[in-house]
Structure 1
């Protein structure tokens, strides 16, 4: 038990440059929230739903983090700062990092898998602050969800998603090969949603220009093909 706790604290220290010691990490609200969730989930599995909810509400009061007792959480989950919500049917793998104000929310179960309303987050995923991952979708291994992104579709392995709705963004190879990228995405203008929107508009304008040029060529070709030569001198005679 002590060895697992030390390994958990070390995994957080490897992802957060702020703490100076393991003792400091023990004061993190995310660590307390995950610990209390282990208790609440054990009670939930034993069908002691009232007690599970009581522990859940106690955890939310103390930490500002709301993890439903039914959520399944793997090893080394790091919730930085807090104020996040994790729904009942959420499934979180190992070594996942979640920053503040993240919602793993549900959708109408009639629109998805029966009984499954919340996302599945696979190993090594990083979810940036303010992001919303909604519905019974799967975020594959080592993916990154940028800040304030809204994800409503499955995310392929290793993808970086930004924007509303979230779309995949190319990441330079030297950045992708790094062991851990704090805060979900590289701090660059290339990953700013407004910049992305401008680039998309430029692409659309260019496509419209090409289409207009094509239509003009087709019209000119039809006019040349439909023109009839005037009568010759012999015909006029």
Structure 2
């Protein structure tokens, strides 16, 4: 156990130039958050849910890091700084590095049934500060996610993902969910840019056909403007 701790501290020191000794690393909030999570996860697996949540609650107050007791985390996980949220069904491999203010968040399953809602981060990934990785997606081995990037689709091994852009999902008014939708981002909504453009084009065509139909019903013809 002592050797495992030394190996873990050395793995952090290899990725962070700031500490001058292993003693400094022992004061890192990410290290404490992971230690509390190991206990909370053990309780969670044993179906002692209240105590698992209690440990998680104490850890969050102490470190500012919220790791759900159900999350699965591998070896040598380095959580630099804090203010990070890791959801219940998230899975993190070995030697993963996550910087501050990252969210491994969920999306509401399209079928409404409980299940995998959070991302899987494979071995040796680096997640930059402020990144938002949402839904039951997979970030492949050795992938990099840049600061403040928003990732909602699978990331290939070794890829680097940067940037963010919010796009309309073009939810029709009559289909808009009036009830509360967990996470605000159901999987059934359209997020592919090409599909969105096709949907927008189809909506314009439908609107033009409706106008032409109204003109035909009135027995008139569309007005034409003479060019000057």
Normalised TM-score (structure 2): 0.71
In terms of fraction of residues, the more helix-rich structure is 1
SS in structure 1 of the partner of residue 158 of structure 2: coil
The verdict on how the C-alpha distance between 1:113 and 1:161 changes in structure 2, with shifts beyond 3 A counting, is farther
Structure 1 residue runs without a partner (length 5+): 167-237
Shift of 1:114: 5.5
Which residue does the alignment assign to 1:66?
A: 66
Q: Compared with structure 1, are the counterparts of its residues 114 and 50 closer, same or farther at alpha carbon in structure 2 (3 Å cutoff)?
A: closer
Partner of 1:119: 119
Shift of 1:104: 0.1
Instruction: Check if 1:25 corresponds to 2:21.
Output: no
Could you tell me how far 1:112 is from its partner in structure 2?
Answer: 9.3
Deviation, structure 1 residue 60: 0.3
1:84-138 CA distance string (max 9 Å, x none): 0000000000000000000000000226996000000000000000000000000
Tell me the SS of whatever aligns to 1:109.
coil
What RMSD in Å do the two structures reach over aligned CA positions? Answer: 1.5
How far has the Cα of 1:148 moved from its partner? 0.1
2:84 alignment partner in structure 1: 84
> How far has the Cα of 1:50 moved from its partner?
0.3
Provide the rounded CA distance (Å) in 2 between the counterparts of 1:101 and 1:33. Answer: 14
Aligned ranges 1:123-202 → 2 under 5 Å? 123-165=123-165
Partner of 1:51: 51
CA distance in 1, matches of 2:164, 2:23: 39
Whose Rg is larger? 1
Task: Give the match for residue 6 of structure 1.
Answer: 6
Where 2:110 maps in the other structure, the secondary structure is: helix
Deviation at 1:46, TM superposition (A): 0.4
Find the counterpart in structure 2 of residue 96 from structure 1.
Answer: 96
Query: Offset of 1:32 from its aligned partner?
Result: 0.2
- TM-score normalised per structure 1: 0.68
Moved over 6 A (4+): none
Give, in whole Å, the separation in 2 of the partners of 1:112 and 1:24: 45
Secondary structure, in 3 states, of the residue corresponding to 2:133? Answer: strand
SS state at 2:104 partner: strand
Asked if the contact 1:90/1:119 (under 8 Å) is kept, the reply is yes
User: What is the distance in 2 between the residues matched to 1:111 and 1:77?
Assistant: 33
